[in-house]
Amino acid sequence: GESVGLHLPTLSVQEGDNSIINCAYSNSASDYFIWYKQESGKGPQFIIDIRSNMDKRQGQRVTVLLNKTVKHLSLQIAATQPGDSAVYFCAQMVLTFGGGTRLMVKP
Amino acid sequence: DAGITQSPRHKVTETGTPVTLRCHQTENHRYMYWYRQDPGHGLRLIHYSYGVKDTDKGEVSDGYSVSRSKTEDFLLTLESATSSQTSVYFCAISGGQGRNYGYTFGSGTRLTVV
């Protein structure tokens, strides 16, 4: 039968070039963002994270940029190597609150 | 990944049979999760656990049940496997003491229902 493969956006770069992978998010309340790398046959692996009170964070060869105004996140990989070949996922976490409970303490 | 193991790594089963996947962690993390990964859908949360005997449903929980009788193990059961449950299943843990508030994922279980 016919097989349908995953249609993922693909970025192709030359070894040694810098790579920029982009991610748009929808929830303005997101306060924590993570980039994961998934190699073929493996689970997602943490690369770098950033909290919403920051706009840039650097790791080893990787930099994450956060633009909350346009709800955009990017991952920059410097001097891309063959070992960087993988699928990259961005993820967001939102701190959500319940309605609250008022505690009144009688003297 | 170190500290989290999934078993089996691969399984082929027949439609209608029960299947149990196991996730084992040695990190003493409080939270454990089961995701499935399918082409075009990314990772979708099936069930999660926030402590021993404390579990809750994710976005695609129909047809699945879970159990967590001890901190280390989180079991995912397909009571009667269907072809639509053919997927790659990932377990994840979170809630450690480190700076990383994200999840650590296992290596996955590839399940084929024929």
Give contacts of B88 with chain A, Cβ < 8 Å: none
Residue A94 has pLDDT above 90, yes or no: no
Residue B98's pLDDT band, with cuts at 50, 70 and 90, is: low
The per-residue pLDDT of chain A, averaged, comes to: 87
Residue A6 has pLDDT above 80, yes or no: no
DSSP H/E element including A65:
strand A62-67
Residue B89 has pLDDT above 60, yes or no: yes
User: Is A93's CB within 8 Å of B105's CB?
Assistant: no
Q: Does A25 touch chain B (CB under 8 A)?
A: no
Residue A5 has pLDDT above 50, yes or no: no
pLDDT of residue B99: 53
Q: What burial letters (b/e) apply to B65-89, b meaning 16+ CB within 10 Å?
A: ebebeebbebbbebeebeeebbbbb
Q: Does A62 touch chain B (CB under 8 A)?
A: no
